[in-house]
């Protein structure tokens, strides 16, 4: 580990890390890199990408609050800036009103009202996984492929009002959006061939006439009709839910279903 003196947000010398957090080894087991990043200090410089990294919660909280110096409006990934105008690419005060609209639409009260439908979907999924297993028996379940990547695809169209036709594209679309924030590596190239098709599909699904009368999408368009947000922002905010809501839900469920290192989960009947 070496040190450098130039950093836009930290005075003095900062450590330089040569490790690649996007290498197959790091993605398979990110804990060693995360530990090295935390031990490095408040901020470190990633020599492979010419980018700064923060690994401690306290300093990350300070950084994301410092929108005046660490702006998001010019892009938030390692690749050249993405000009799509979603919530991730906005700074205050432009960011404030759309965020307030989504906070109301995704309030705890609204989410509680979806609990019954969510539980029915979950029960149906597990009934299918346990079909044919005798009482007291045991079945091996892949928590990522059979639960994490399936449940959101079944539930999300109901919640958002997105047309369920073609919903098998939700996971690869969200996966590519996530990978596009990193370097142009093998994971990025794997999804690049479908990127245009998936982007066009997602854009079409978020238009007013493609959405169900009830759901997050319809609520966003209703906010535009009230003048709370611009009409041009309505499909972009709806698409933000597709982009940010799907992959995080898949990863969150998968993390609860699997052990480290990843192995199939064991579920009792």
Could you read off the pLDDT of 201-240 as tens digits, one per residue?
999 999 999 999 999 999 999 999 999 998 988 998 898 8
In this prediction the pTM is: 0.77
The answer to whether residue 268 scores a pLDDT higher than 80 is: no
Element (H, E) at 228: none
Number of domains in the chain: 2
Cα–Cα dist 232/84, whole Å:
12
- Lowest mean per-residue pLDDT among 24-28, 56-60, 106-110, 258-262: 258-262
| Shared-domain flag, residues 55 and 112 | no
Cβ-contact 55, 33 below 8 angstroms:
no
pLDDT number for residue 242? 78
The answer to whether residue 263 scores a pLDDT higher than 60 is: no
Q: Answer yes or no: is 52 within a domain.
A: yes
Which domain does 146 fall in, by range?
97-268
pLDDT number for residue 9? 56
**Structure confidence by residue, pLDDT tens digits, 174-197:** 888 888 888 999 989 988 889 899
Q: What is the CATH number of the domain that holds 249?
A: 1.10.630.10
**Structure confidence by residue, pLDDT tens digits, 39-55:** 999 999 999 998 899 99
Cβ-contact 9, 67 below 8 angstroms:
no
């Amino acid at each position: 580990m070496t040190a450098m003196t130039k950093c836009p947000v930290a005075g003095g010398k900062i450590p330089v890390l040569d490790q690649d957090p996007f290498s197959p080894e790091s993605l398979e087991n990110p804990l060693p890199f995360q530990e090295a990043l935390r031990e490095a200090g408040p901020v470190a410089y990633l020599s492979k990408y010419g980018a700064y990294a923060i690994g401690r919660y306290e300093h990350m909280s300070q950084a994301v609050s410092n929108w005046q110096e660490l702006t998001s409006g010019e892009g938030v990934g390692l690749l050249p800036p993405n000009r799509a105008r979603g919530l991730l690419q906005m700074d205050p005060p432009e960011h404030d009103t759309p965020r307030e609209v989504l906070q109301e639409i995704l309030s705890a009260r609204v989410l509680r009202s979806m609990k019954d439908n969510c539980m029915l979907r979950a029960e149906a999924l597990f009934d299918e996984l346990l079909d044919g297993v005798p009482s007291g028996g045991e079945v091996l379940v892949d928590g990522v492929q059979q639960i994490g990547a399936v449940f959101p695809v079944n539930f999300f169209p109901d919640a958002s009002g997105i047309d369920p036709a073609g919903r098998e594209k939700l996971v690869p679309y969200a996966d590519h959006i996530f990978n596009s924030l990193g370097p142009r590596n093998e994971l990025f190239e794997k999804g690049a061939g479908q990127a245009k098709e998936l982007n066009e599909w997602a854009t079409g699904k978020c238009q007013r006439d493609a959405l169900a009368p009830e759901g997050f999408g319809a609520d966003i368009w209703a906010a535009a009709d009230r003048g709370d947000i611009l009409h041009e922002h309505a499909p972009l905010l709806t698409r933000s839910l597709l982009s940010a809501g799907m992959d995080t839900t898949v990863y969150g469920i998968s993390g609860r279903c699997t052990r480290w290192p990843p192995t199939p989960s064991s579920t009792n009947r």
